[in-house]
Amino acid sequence: MNLLTPILAATAAKNTTFVAVDWLMLALYFGLLLGVAWWVVKKSKNTAADYFLAGRNLGWWVIGASIFASNIGSEHIVGLAGSGAKDGVAMAHYELHAWCLLVLAWVFVPFYARSLVFTMPEFLERRFSPGSRYVLSIVSLITFVVSKIAVGIFAGGVVFGTLMPELHLNLGSLHIDSFWIGSVLVILLTGLYTALGGMRAVAYNDAVQVVVLIIGSALLTVYGLHELGGWGELKRICGSEMFNLWKPLIPHGMEGTWAPVKEPGKIAWYFNSNFPWLGMAICAPVIGLWYWCTDQYIVQRALGAPNQTVARQGSIFAAFLKLFPVYLFIIPGLICFALAKSGKNVGLSSELFTQDGHLIESAAQGAFPLMVQHLLPAGLRGIVVAGLLSALMGSLAGVFNACSTLFTVDLYEKLKPGASQADLVRTGRIATGVMVVIALLWIPVIKGAHGLYDYLQAVQGYLAPPIFVVFFFGVFWKRLNAQGCLWAMISGFVLGVFRMLVDTPVTMKLAGFENGYTQGSFLWIVNNINFQYFSILITLVSAIVMVAVSYMTPEPDYVKLKGLTFGTATEEDKKATRESWHTFDVVASLFVLAAIVGAYLYFRG
C-alpha cells in the first residue's frame, strides 16, 4: 500500500466536479468505442443471422465478457452499491448465483446448440407448441420493458444526476434536470449503435467495457480502503451485521428450524421483510436459473457460438467474471457507508447522513457515483465514469438487441414468412426504437420504488417463475405436453401481472395510495406479502398446473422431441456432448464453485 501513497494523496485536495481532463478521458474512451462499432459495422452483413447472432462465430472470451457486461451494466453498478450502503452484503446472494451459469454451460447449452434456434421462445415452440412461443415472446418483451430497459435508463439518470448535477435545460416554464438529460442521452446513443451494428457491435464493445469497468471499479475500491484505513477498519465501522451473508437466511434464534420469519408488528410471517431467509433460499435460485439459463437477454450470446464447446467455455468464463460484482460494487457501497458514518470523508457524510445521524436511503442509492465524485482524482475520475456510462449503454444495447430479435423472429417473421433478410434487419431496428419510447414511460414508476435493485428483483420475481417451470420441467420431464406448458405460463403470468397491478399505485404514490391500501383488506395483504414469497406461490401454481394439465391430456409425440429433452436425446447426441468438453472446463467450473463456497464461509458476520 505504501507504493500507492503518493498517487492516492492526490485525492486530498481535489475538485469533486468534472474538469477538462475528465472530459478528455470521456471523449477518448467513447472515441474508442465508436471506433470498435465502426469496425464491426464494416464487417457486418445485412442478414438476420449476422445482425441478431453475429453470424454464430463469436469466440468464448467475447461470449463470456458480453454476458457479464450486459448483466452488470445498469442495475448492478448503481443498485448493488446502493444496496451495500444500505443493507451490507445481503444482496451478494444474487451475485453468488454464478453457479447458475454453470447450469447453462453443462445442462442447457447442448440442447440450445443442437436446436440452432435464434430465440428462447423458438426453442419452446420446438419442445411444446407455437402457442407457448407466442406467450413467452410477449412475456419476455413485457419483462424487458418494465425491468431491464427502464431500470437501465434510470441507472444512467442516477449517474448523471450525481456526477453532473450542474447540467440542466430550461425550455420556457419546463425545467429539465441532469437526471432526465442523462437518461435521454444514454438511450439515444445506445439505440444508435445497437441499431447500426447489431449483436456483433454489442458483443465486441462489451469486451472492451469489461476491461475498463473491472480496472476502474478495482481502483475505486483501493482508493476507498486507503482513505478509510484498510479492510479491518471497514469491518469495524460496518459491524458484523453488514458483513453477514447468513443473517437473511437464518435469523438469530432460529438456527436449526425451518419456521418462517415473524417480524414484530407484522400480522403474519409472510409480510414484508427486505431479505426473508425462506425467500432467499427458494425464490432467489428460481430467479437466478430463469435469468441465466432461459432469458433471451443472456442466452442470446451463447446462441452466437459456433458450437457447444465455445458456448460452454463462454458460459464458464462468464461465471468466473460473475464473482467480481460482490467486490467491485457491493464492497464500495460498504466503503461509502463507512467513510460517511465515520466522518473520514466530509463530502460523503453530508451526502449520506442527516445532521442527527440518520442514513438518507435515497442518497445511498447513488453510492457508486458518489464514491467516484468524492474519492478519485481528476483524469482517473473521467476514465471510471466513462467505463460506468459505457457499461450502462452496453447493458441497454444487449436488451435492445434481444427485444428486436424476439419481436422480429418470433412475431414479425411468423406473420410474414416470406420477408427478406434486409426486411428482417430493418424491422429489428424499428422494434428497438419502439421499445425505447415505451420504456421511457416507466421511469417514474421505478423512480418511486424503495430501491432500484429491489424493484428489479420484485418484477423478475413476479414474471420469472412460469418461464423457469416450463423450461426446466420441459427439459427434464418428457411426459409434459404443450397444453400443460401453455396453461402453466398463462396462470403464472396472470398471477404475476395481478401482483404488479396491485403494487404499481402504491409504488407510484398515486392520489389516494400515498399510504397504501386499507390495512387488513385483501389488496393490502397482497401488496404486503414479500415479493419472494409471492414468487414462490407463482412457482408452485405454475408447476402444479403444468403437471396436472399434462397428465389430463394425451402424451406428446416423442419422435418430434428428439434431442430436446434428456429422455429423448439419442446416443449420438450424448456422445457429441461428451466430446465437446475438456478437463479444463471441469477444473474451471470447480474453481467457480469453490470461490462461491469460500465467500459464504467468509461473509458470516
State the pTM of this model. 0.81
**How far, in Å, CA of 395 to CA of 397, rounded?**
5
pLDDT beyond 60 at 274: no
At 271 the three-state DSSP class reads strand
**How far, in Å, CA of 595 to CA of 323, rounded?**
8
Which tens digit of pLDDT belongs to each residue from 446-465? 555 545 555 666 777 888 89
Alpha helices in 322-379 (DSSP H): 325, 331-342, 346-352, 361-364, 367-375
Which tens digit of pLDDT belongs to each residue from 332-359? 889 988 888 888 887 788 888 887 778 7
CA–CA distance from 195 to each of 200, 411, 435, 591 (Å)? 11, 19, 12, 38
On the 0-12 / 13-18 / 19+ scale of CB atoms within 10 A, 305 is: buried
Which tens digit of pLDDT belongs to each residue from 476-516? 999 999 999 999 999 999 999 899 888 877 766 667 776 77
Longest alpha-carbon distance in the chain = 75
Which residues neighbour 121 within 8 Å (Cβ) at sequence distance 6 or greater? Answer: 132, 133, 134, 136, 137, 140, 296, 406, 410
Residue 446's closest CA among 433, 437, 459?
459
Residue spans of the domains in the chain: they are: 2-442
**How far, in Å, CA of 367 to CA of 83, rounded?**
9
φ, ψ at 170 (rounded to 5°): -110, 120
**How far, in Å, CA of 411 to CA of 160, rounded?**
36
Q: Which residue reads 447468513 in cell numbers?
A: 246
pLDDT beyond 60 at 14: no
Q: Which residue reads 430479435 in cell numbers?
A: 405
Q: What is the pLDDT of residue 5?
A: 37
Side-chain-side CA neighbours of 175 within 13 Å: the count stands at 4
**How far, in Å, CA of 198 to CA of 398, rounded?**
9
**How far, in Å, CA of 84 to CA of 450, rounded?**
14
**How far, in Å, CA of 505 to CA of 525, rounded?**
15
Homologous superfamily assigned to 2-442: Sodium/glucose cotransporter (1.20.1730.10)
